[in-house]
Amino acid sequence: MAGFDKYFLMKAQDAADYATGKLKFFEAGADLETKEIGDGNLNYIFRVVDRKSGKSVVIKQAGSTARISEDFVLSLDRNRIENDILKLEGELAPGFVPKVYAYDPIMNCCAMEDLSDHLIMRGALLQRKKYPLFADHISTFMANTLLLTCDAVMDHKKKKALVGSFINPDLCEITEDLVYTEPFNDLKKRNDLFAPNKDFFEKELYGDDALRLEAAKLKFDFFQNAQCLIHGDLHTGSVFVRPDSTKVIDPEFAYYGPAGYDVGNVLANLVFAWINADTTIAEPAAQADYTSWLEETIAQSLDLFKQKWRALWDKAVTEPTAKYPGFAEWYFDGILRDTAGVTGLELCRRTVGLAKVKDIAGIENPAQRTRAERVAISLAKRCIFERDLIRSGEDYLRLLAWAAAKHPRAK
């Protein structure tokens, strides 16, 4: 059995030994079963369960390179960041993140609550499951974690200390490259263009200088706007769901950045689920039923966030100048503008970039995938160019209907 006093990448048996020997999570004689359950782009995740008692724990370990590509050499400190932010988010938005049991700076891993009674939301949506409480839950999570970590609420010195604690250059570089840069020029030759759409992408993304300029403006906002402590990767693959529960996971990209980054990620990934359903569900009634629920969820996720932000603002703001008449409206208008821009960026990067989503890349019919990608890019460009005008859930649904009509389903 390893002593775990020096870093190495664990295998399944190592994780079991770690849970027993280092964590002392299980009693002696426990009948342990261990599986690596991670399917993400960065980390190694193990579930250890005692077959006798059913007691279980998840161990998440950071490697020095990303699993998706060894081009990304990463600081192992991201595991510390994830541990710290999960604890903070648990205080700000109780019940919406997993419990963290321990963090180990030597093995660069953390032990946390097993959420095996939940499903990863992206996969659940592809199975056409519905989660009627999701919009309410995610809007509460975003309002609490974003507003309560901004300058309008926090003591300024404490806020600046948090900015320092969550400086995250390696993970931010991934975001800056994959989200803000490469979808519009492929400077590092990592994009993966679906062949039937190659000419479409080259014209609509690489060949649109006006779009590239707007993406550059948004990138510099990400560089410079230390507004709130954002999750940094808040998509449907970073959310566990049950009909009665929502748990946000994987905050290793956490960083002080624009609040709209998190909100835009949520909306874009719900849109991906909508595009998949609209494109691939053959039976008209089933298609209408599921896309209608997704439309309601998209609109409510934003509109409830707006309502909760404003109600919490009135209760929580401590900065005197933030209480001047008209300031709250000005401040939040910037968040909505950033939200629309990031929605567009996320739609672009997940369609053509290195880290794709199953909602689109998993569509097996070439004609359907071609259509799905074109809907995503057409909507993305409207979101980016018209980000000063998009302010409500209904605005997103209107543009989504336009993009879908622009690229009709094959008959």
* CATH code of 202's domain: 3.90.1200.10
Q: Number of structural domains, the chain?
A: 2
Q: For the domain that residue 57 is a member of, what is the CATH number?
A: 3.30.200.20
What are the start-end ranges of the H helices in 61-183? Answer: 78-92, 121-126, 134-147, 156-165, 169-178
Whether 280 is in a domain gets the answer yes
Whether 2 is in a domain gets the answer no
CA–CA separation, 26 and 11 (whole Å): 18
201: helix, strand or coil: helix
Whether 4 is in a domain gets the answer no
Q: What are the b/e assignments for 24-53, b being 16+ CB within 10 Å?
A: ebbeeebebebeeebebbbbbbbbbbbeee
CA–CA separation, 15 and 46 (whole Å): 7
Same domain (yes/no): 258, 134:
yes
Boundary-marking domain end, from 112, 132, 156: 112
CA–CA separation, 411 and 392 (whole Å): 32
Three-state DSSP string of 174-199: HHHHHCCCHHHCCCCCCCCCCHHHHH
Same domain (yes/no): 48, 133:
no
Boundary-marking domain end, from 47, 79, 112: 112
Same domain (yes/no): 175, 220:
yes
Whether 411 is in a domain gets the answer no
The one-letter amino acid code at 157 reads: K
CB 340 within 8 A of CB 384: yes
Same domain (yes/no): 79, 128:
no
Same domain (yes/no): 104, 132:
no
The one-letter amino acid code at 409 reads: R
Boundary-marking domain end, from 84, 112, 140: 112
Same domain (yes/no): 258, 128:
yes
Q: What is the pTM of this model?
A: 0.95
Determine the pLDDT at residue 67. 67
Q: Are strands 100-104 and 119-120 parallel, antiparallel or unpaired?
A: unpaired
Whether 361 is in a domain gets the answer yes
CA–CA separation, 52 and 135 (whole Å): 37
Same domain (yes/no): 223, 340:
yes
Determine the pLDDT at residue 14. 96
Same domain (yes/no): 269, 152:
yes
Whether 319 is in a domain gets the answer yes
Same domain (yes/no): 77, 157:
no
Same domain (yes/no): 68, 146:
no
Same domain (yes/no): 39, 150:
no
Determine the pLDDT at residue 29. 84
Whether 169 is in a domain gets the answer yes
CA–CA separation, 265 and 269 (whole Å): 6
Structural domain span for residue 127:
119-406
Same domain (yes/no): 95, 227:
no
CA–CA separation, 323 and 325 (whole Å): 6
- Which ranges of the chain have pLDDT less than 70? 1-2, 39-41, 67-69, 411
- Reference 252, options 232, 267, 224; nearest CA is 232
Whether 6 is in a domain gets the answer no
